[in-house]
Structure 1
Amino acid sequence: MSTARLKIIGGRIGIANAFARMPFRFGVVTMEAAASATLELEVFVNGQPVLGYASDLLAYKWFDKRPEKTPADNVADLLWVIEEALTVASALSEGSVFSLWRQLDEEVDRRAVAAGFNRLGASFGVSMVERAVIDALGRATGQSFFDMVRNNAFGIEGGAVFPELAGLLPASILSEKPLERIALRHTVGLVDPIEAQDIASADRLDDGLPETLADYIEQDDLSYLKIKIAGDPASDMARLERIASVMERTGRTFALTLDGNEQYSRLEDFAALMDAIRRNPALGHFYQSILFVEQPLERSVALSAPLDPHALKTIGKPLLIDEADGWTRAFHEAIALGYHGVSHKNCKGVIRSLLNAMIAAERNRVAGQGTYFQSAEDLTCLPVVSLQADLAVVAALGITHVERNGHHYFRGLEHLPASEAEAALAAHPDLYRREGASIVTAINGGTLDIASLQVPGMGFACLPNLSQRTRAADWTFDSLNKSDAGHAGTGE
């Protein structure tokens, strides 16, 4: 199939507020409400106009954790970087998805750094435009995301970025078909209740959905957990013992990942925690169940020097980068320092994830299968556009378990206009189900069924209506203080 030529015309951003059913710790703050940005992008594909969509939470205190920046500052920065990406993209000449992405990635990165933002935040702006372009291409050509990767519809030339990928096509990383089921890796957040006694009777939601870790394990039949740690050895150990106790009582086998949340400036300090876990009789099975550790080091030091071999040996589990994956070459650089993994998140970039998958596959030809790897992480992808686009990429990459918790912190699809929630259920009945008066994400035996995501575009057959969202210019951060989650304007 010949590579399509695309010209980005322009776009508009709609903002909607999503109110959490329970507070959750995101980065260095506890969040009770967040704004979600939906981008509608007009693109000419081989001369024909088509619309593409992308959506994501404007997650404060994750992209930029500097204490001098307020949550309102963070959201303003994220909106600014999307607008900058739109300005850059609209000035680009016609080209393939890959050529447009390379120019966009370089220029937005430059502008963000020059403006005092950071490279991870720059990636977010690029990724919003990139996803909408890919969605438009798929809709114009009738191809699913998997089909577009298999046919190299993006025109990716890996060797132009990483010489070791010269001659390799993205199809080389694909299985025969995309995954149709993905195991859900449930995140145990730092303020999440573990058992019923952790919730005061006055604070119980009693909304028909699970509230505690014990509830989720029992009701969703979970086999994978992601556990966040706070960086305080005493409180972390006590909390991990409680979590391990809940796991042991089920008699089930679990696979675990630990999220270090950038809580350490020295790897030796994190290694001491891992050594204490391994030596604790109550945590023996817990330690053995750990698959990998995500980003224990703060991003400013994570890639500053090779990882200490003695500390790595003490940790005994592979490390991956997440927040430190702020630019296109970050994973490549991290491998040279001793890391083995990198997280996929649509909010950091789709083509970046494809290139990272190709790097891992190429390195594993020598190092052995599974030595270098991608995980799938994104705490708060919400239905429809954000969640399904991310799952479509994960299904293509063949990552068999994925961090998901939007269904935990937010109540089903109630952040959407009712008409969009109903359309999602009709178009994707494997991924959603009706629960009383609500439409919620369907979890079956600890997995998400996602065969219906193989549709033209980025995995969603039903489209957002920007007329039911607030224009970015009219939205204010103060609107997140409203406690009525049912007010008009809650959306994607």
Structure 2
Amino acid sequence: MSPSWSRRHFLKSAALLPLASQASAAPAIVTGKPSTGLRIEEVKMAFEDFNYRVPYKFGGTAVDRVTLLNVTARVSNAAGKSVTGFGSMPMGNVWSFPSSTMSYDTTLNAMRTLAKRIEKITGGFQDTAHPIEINFLLEPEYLKAAAEVSRELALPTPIPKLCTQVTASAFDAALHDAFGKLLGLNCYQTYSTELIGHDLSRYLNADFKGESLASYVTPTPRDWVWLFHSVGGLDAVTPGELKDRLHDGLPETLGEWIQRDGLQRIKIKLQGENLEWDIARTVAIDRVARETRPDVEWKYCCDFNEHCPNVDYLLEYLRKVKEQAPQGFESILYLEQPTKRDLKADRQNLMHEAAKLRPVVIDESLTDLDNLLLAREMGYTGACLKACKGQSHALLMAAAGKKYDMFLCVQDLTCPGASLIQSAGIASHVPGLSTIESNAREYVPSANAAWTAKFPGLFDTRDGKLATKQLTGPGLGAVP
């Protein structure tokens, strides 16, 4: 029985079920490769809420709280060994499901409802397979569940694919963690064709025929990765911008963060709707950075969160920054998602001219290989990898990005705890990629409290780097 037949058979069978019963139906998928993977015995999820220390403004919206989705998956193998894997991810509804008509609570409730459906779908998977294969087979069912939830909740805008991927990512992470634990290996040592059961062409395209995912990741992490410190739209760059001090023992201005953490990399959150503000903000950040640490070779990421009206805005921004702060312009390492995430509806905003100046990477747009290839056609030269889109997705897009010679980076969803460990793992295992954000230490340090002492130099840094050499434990490495 071939895997492609089994997927068609499952989809056909599911289509025959009454709509009301599909949400709780257990997917009886048979892949025909029972000896190479895990078998899911039980999946459980829980939510955990934290308030932000200070609001984080990006994409025109200020976020002041986070709900974590924590997933445990008990799995077994053919020999009868049983282990439990763990995955965690912020429910980033403001980023993955932005809306001008629905409230924060409405979009978050949609994600929470969808998570319960995904819990049933994942827990009902009855075959033995590798986590990448499981995610490949189940993502269509996750998307179908998202459409059902959208209808049942009468949402004015359906749950988008990106949001579905974010909701499913903790489940995918738990399975990768569990599979590594079954084998007593770090998960980055489990991506061979023999263990997955297929080459990359099954999950990407014919360009990857005969290729193994293992050839695109390293089995051991690099010792450290650069930390990109985020400066949100409300963050104080200078002391004069502070209205009131928190006096909570943490830095409160950019200069204070630079001094305490030995920063050398900065992510600049920009508006994309106010050119003069964006230029002035960039110039001010560059000035403070150089005054605070004049000996540093600074690098910046400029993130517009898709709010630039067109590519001309981006080109004018670059021209003005170069004019007003030549060193600051030279320090721009890459530009992140300047215009709308729906590339098919925004085909006129080609990035070829901007990409001649600096790499232009897609972030919100990157939900699958088709969008990656479309972005390349439109002049994008890089791609952002995110744990919140799923471990399986991030690794497959890393392989595609490397194959097509694209600039790659890892970005955050203000990931605390286990989700930061997963994100840091990606950053430290993809060759040529050595940067990552770590926003939770700024905005929601309370969510890191239980993890900081266990992973020295990862959650609390003083040299501008995150220590990743220690992430060698079984599974995703969250066990020190």
- The normalised TM-score by structure 2 is 0.84
Contact 2:146 2:164 in 1 (8 A): yes
**1:405 maps onto 2:405 in alignment:** no
Cα 1:392–1:152 shift into 2, 3 Å: farther
Residue from 244, 264, 267 that aligns with 2:311: 267
Give, as a single letter, the amino acid of the residue that structure 1 aligns with 2:248.
D
Shift of 1:27: 3.9
Equivalent in the alignment of 1:336: 377
Equivalent in the alignment of 1:317: 358
Equivalent in the alignment of 2:398: 357
Equivalent in the alignment of 1:386: 419
Contact 2:37 2:195 in 1 (8 A): no
Structure 2 CA distance for aligned equivalents of residues 382 and 144 of structure 1: 20
Contact 1:380 1:406 in 2 (8 A): yes
Equivalent in the alignment of 1:255: 299
**1:173 maps onto 2:184 in alignment:** no
Shift of 1:337: 2.4
How does 1:77-156 map onto structure 2 within 5 Å?
77-94=110-127, 95-113=129-147, 115=150, 116-149=158-191, 153-155=195-197
Query: Which deviates further from its counterpart, 233-242 or 175-184?
Result: 175-184
Shift of 1:209: 1.8
Cα deviations across residues 233-281 of structure 1 (Å, max 9, x unaligned)?
1211222221121123231220111101111232222222222222x2x
Contact 1:145 1:396 in 2 (8 A): no
Query: Which deviates further from its counterpart, 331-340 or 341-350?
Result: 331-340
Contact 1:332 1:359 in 2 (8 A): no
Contact 1:26 1:61 in 2 (8 A): no
Cα 1:27–1:51 shift into 2, 3 Å: farther
Cα 1:235–1:395 shift into 2, 3 Å: same
How does 1:204-353 map onto structure 2 within 5 Å?
204-231=245-272, 232-249=274-291, 250-251=293-294, 252-278=296-322, 280=323, 282-301=324-343, 304-305=346-347, 307-308=349-350, 311-312=353-354, 316-353=357-394
Equivalent in the alignment of 1:428: 455
Contact 2:69 2:90 in 1 (8 A): yes
**1:29 maps onto 2:95 in alignment:** no
Structure 2 CA distance for aligned equivalents of residues 61 and 209 of structure 1: 26
Give, as a single letter, the amino acid of the residue that structure 1 aligns with 2:130.
S
Give, as a single letter, the amino acid of the residue that structure 1 aligns with 2:336.
E
Contact 2:58 2:269 in 1 (8 A): no
Give, as a single letter, the amino acid of the residue that structure 2 aligns with 1:162.
N
Cα deviations across residues 335-372 of structure 1 (Å, max 9, x unaligned)?
232211111111112222222222222223xxxxxxx1
Structure 1 CA distance for aligned equivalents of residues 282 and 210 of structure 2: 46
Structure 1 CA distance for aligned equivalents of residues 344 and 251 of structure 2: 36
Give, as a single letter, the amino acid of the residue that structure 2 aligns with 1:375.
C
**1:56 maps onto 2:89 in alignment:** yes
* Partner SS for 1:167: coil
Shift of 1:311: 4.2
Give, as a single letter, the amino acid of the residue that structure 2 aligns with 1:59.
G
Taking every aligned residue pair, what percent have the same amino acid on both sides?
Answer: 23
Shift of 1:205: 1.9
Contact 1:187 1:405 in 2 (8 A): yes
Contact 1:98 1:154 in 2 (8 A): yes
Give, as a single letter, the amino acid of the residue that structure 2 aligns with 1:199.
L
Equivalent in the alignment of 1:488: none
Structure 2 CA distance for aligned equivalents of residues 373 and 395 of structure 1: 15
Contact 2:341 2:364 in 1 (8 A): yes
Equivalent in the alignment of 2:473: 455
Over the residues paired in the alignment, what is the CA RMSD in angstroms? 2.3
Cα 1:450–1:311 shift into 2, 3 Å: closer
**1:443 maps onto 2:477 in alignment:** no
Cα deviations across residues 24-54 of structure 1 (Å, max 9, x unaligned)?
1144421222221211222233343322111
- In structure 1, the gaps of 5 or more residues are 365-371, 432-440, 463-492
Structure 1 CA distance for aligned equivalents of residues 198 and 475 of structure 2: 17
Structure 2 CA distance for aligned equivalents of residues 333 and 93 of structure 1: 35
Cα 1:233–1:171 shift into 2, 3 Å: same
Equivalent in the alignment of 2:21: none
Equivalent in the alignment of 2:238: 195
* Partner SS for 1:51: strand
Cα 1:426–1:310 shift into 2, 3 Å: closer
Equivalent in the alignment of 1:469: none
Shift of 1:307: 4.6
Cα 1:307–1:425 shift into 2, 3 Å: closer
Residue from 36, 42, 45 that aligns with 1:4: 36
Shift of 1:454: 0.7
Q: How many residues align?
A: 432
Structure 1 CA distance for aligned equivalents of residues 48 and 301 of structure 2: 32
Equivalent in the alignment of 1:74: 107
- The normalised TM-score by structure 1 is 0.82
Structure 2 CA distance for aligned equivalents of residues 8 and 134 of structure 1: 12
Give, as a single letter, the amino acid of the residue that structure 2 aligns with 1:283.
A
Give, as a single letter, the amino acid of the residue that structure 2 aligns with 1:394.
A
Structure 2 CA distance for aligned equivalents of residues 154 and 26 of structure 1: 38
Give, as a single letter, the amino acid of the residue that structure 2 aligns with 1:342.
A
Shift of 1:225: 0.9
Give, as a single letter, the amino acid of the residue that structure 2 aligns with 1:197.
G
Shift of 1:381: 0.7
Cα deviations across residues 437-475 of structure 1 (Å, max 9, x unaligned)?
xxxx2213111112222101112117xxxxxxxxxxxxx
* Partner SS for 1:30: strand
Structure 1 CA distance for aligned equivalents of residues 348 and 239 of structure 2: 44
Structure 2 CA distance for aligned equivalents of residues 5 and 308 of structure 1: 43
Query: Which deviates further from its counterpart, 108-117 or 186-195?
Result: 108-117
Give, as a single letter, the amino acid of the residue that structure 2 aligns with 1:294.
E
Give, as a single letter, the amino acid of the residue that structure 1 aligns with 2:277.
S
* Partner SS for 2:447: coil
